[in-house]
Structure 1
C-alpha cells in the first residue's frame, strides 16, 4: 500500500505533512541513490589509490580554473590537513597544477592539467549518464522539485556557495 502525503491548506498555504516512516524512506532512498551515484567513480578511483575527496577536488578545480586553495577548502568543508594530502597527491601525479596568484602572490591558484581534466571527465561520465537517465524518467517537474528539495536541505552558507557555483560559466 502506498503512503499518502497530506496537503493541508491553512490561510491559503499548502503545507506538506509526512510521516516519520515516509521521511525514513526518503533518507534511505538518498543513501542508496548516493551509493549508486558514486559506484562507478569509486571503482576508477580505487584502481588509482584515490578516494572521493580526490574526485571532489578535481571536479571543483575543473569547474572553476584558478580556484584558490582557500576557496576549495570552503567549498569542500574539509580540514586544511586533509585537503593538503589530496592536493599533494594530485599535483605529484600531474593532474593538478598549483600556480602563484597574479594579484596576491601568497595565494595558490589551482588548475587541472589535461590529464586531470581527462580523469575528471572519466569519473563524471557515468554520473552524468545516471543523472540524465533519472531526470528523463522523472520529468521536468520532478527535476525542478528535486532541486528545490536539495537546496532546501542546505544551510545558508552552503546554499550561497552553491549559488555562486551556478553562476560560473559551463
Structure 2
C-alpha cells in the first residue's frame, strides 16, 4: 500500500530515494532547507547545480531538477523552486502545486519509490502555512493514486507549527488509496 508519513525533524537525514530541496532559482544554495542541503551534501551537489545552470540558466519557479545527493543519506536531491507569496493574486497556488507535481514527476520518471518533502515556500517566501499544507497534501495524494513507482512520501516538518498543521490536515484526508502514517 502507498503511504504518506509525517515526520518532525531534519530532511537532510532522511533515508529515502530522494529528498526535495526548496531551492531558489539560482540553484546555488541559500538559507533554510536549501543551505542545509548544500552544506551537508557537499561540493558534489553544488557542482551538479552549476552544471544545470550552465545548461539551462537555473530553475524557474514551479519547475524541478535533479542532482545526486553527495554526502547525504538519500540517493538524489530534487531541487524545486516554490513561489514567493505576494498577495495570492499572482498564481502562487498554481506555482506551488507545480513545484510538488514536477518533483513527483521527476521521482516517477527515475523509478524512485520514496521521496521526502520539506514545507516548500513557508519560510522566507512567506506562503501561508495552512494553504501550503493543503496544496502539498492534496497534490501528493492525487499524484500517488496513479503513480507506478512512487510508493512512499514523507512530509518532513522542521518546525512544530508546520508539523501540527500537517498533522491536522492529514487527519482529515479521506482516502483508501494512500495510508497516512505518523499522525
Q: Normalising to structure 2: TM-score of the pair? A: 0.25
Structure of larger gyration radius? 1
**Greater length-normalized contact order (CA 8 Å, ≥ 6 residues apart):** 2
Q: Judging by fraction of residues, say which structure has more strand.
A: 2
Q: Normalising to structure 1: TM-score of the pair? A: 0.26
Q: Judging by fraction of residues, say which structure has more helix.
A: 1
